[in-house]
Every structure is written in C-alpha cells, then in structure tokens.
Amino acid sequence: MQKVILVEHDKCTGCRLCEMVCSVKHEGVSNPSRARIHVIKWFMEGFDMPMVCQQCLEAPCIAVCPKDALSRDEELGVVSLDYDLCIGCKMCVTACPFGGMGIDTVTNKVIKCDLCDGDPQCVRFCFPGALEYVDANAVNLRKKRDAASKLAELMSKVAAA
C-alpha cells in the first residue's frame, strides 16, 4: 500500500524544523538549503507551505530523465534516484510541477525526498502536525470528509439566512 506525506498548510507554523531534520538525516549538517523539503513562506497571505516530492504515479521527472536514473520503487511507492546513473543534467528539476526536486547547494547534485526509507523524519519531528505519513487512499477520504464538512457548514448558513 502506497504511503505519502500529507501536508496540511493550515497547521504549519513556519518553524522549518522539517528542513533542519531532513538536512541532518541526509547530509549530516543542519542546513535548510540542503533539505529535500522546503517551507515556502507567503508573507502577504500569512501562511507557510511545506513543499516536498509528491511521488507522482505519472512522474514527469522519470519521463524526462535521459539516463533512467529515476525509477519507482513499487514496494515503498517512492520515486528513487540512482546517483550512479545520474549525469546531473537537472532536467528532472525543471520537469517537476511541484518543485519537489532540488539541487544540493554544496555538492550541486540533484536531491529529492526518499521518504527516509519509510520513516520520514520531517513527519516525526513536525510537532504542529502539518506533516503526516499516511496511506494514499486515506488522503482522498480525508479530503472528501473535509470538503463535505465545509459544504454542510455553508449549507447550514444558507438555510439559516
């Protein structure tokens, strides 16, 4: 069963601990620019949005890679990057519609979320609960319930008017 990182931006406080934990886990240093997750801050709108690889089923990054360095690990449902095959052309970075692929600012290599082999550390240390590691099917069900709840609230306001 495929699991994904569910992002609930309304819970994100912008602390960026997810970035720190990710860079320490993968690079051994606390450097947000080397993380596989990035918190995008919308100052004028007043919210923060963690952005991470969506592990797309029809992944554009896989489609554009000229050396087949990107592939899907069916067991984890993760799009994996094989550094032995990667030539560093960065076509995958430009193809990703979500900005989930990145470039390590020190090594100049392409980086992406690998779900920490099934135990994403960004999720583990996200104390506000903005990140959750859940079954992909649960995401759809949760979003349907949230939408239905909002619709019911709106309908009760219309009925009361």
DSSP string, the chain: --EEEEE-GGG--S--HHHHHHHHHHHSS--GGG-S-EEEEETTTTEEEEE-----TT-HHHHH-TT--EEEETTTTEEEE-TTT-----HHHHH-TTS--EE-TTT--EE---GGGG--HHHHT-TT--EEEEEHHHHHHHHHHHHHHHHHHHHHHHHH-
Q: Which range of residues forms the domain containing residue 96?
A: 3-136
Mean pLDDT of 108-125: 96
Q: Is residue 152 part of a domain?
A: no
What pLDDT band is residue 1 in, cutting at 50, 70 and 90? low
CATH number of the domain where residue 70 is located: 3.30.70.20
Q: Is residue 107 part of a domain?
A: yes
Q: Is residue 143 part of a domain?
A: no
User: pLDDT tens-digit profile of 35-83?
Assistant: 999 999 988 888 899 999 999 989 999 999 999 999 998 888 899 999 9
The domain total for the chain is 1
- Give me the pLDDT at residue 153, please: 80
Q: Is residue 155 part of a domain?
A: no
Mean pLDDT across the chain: 91
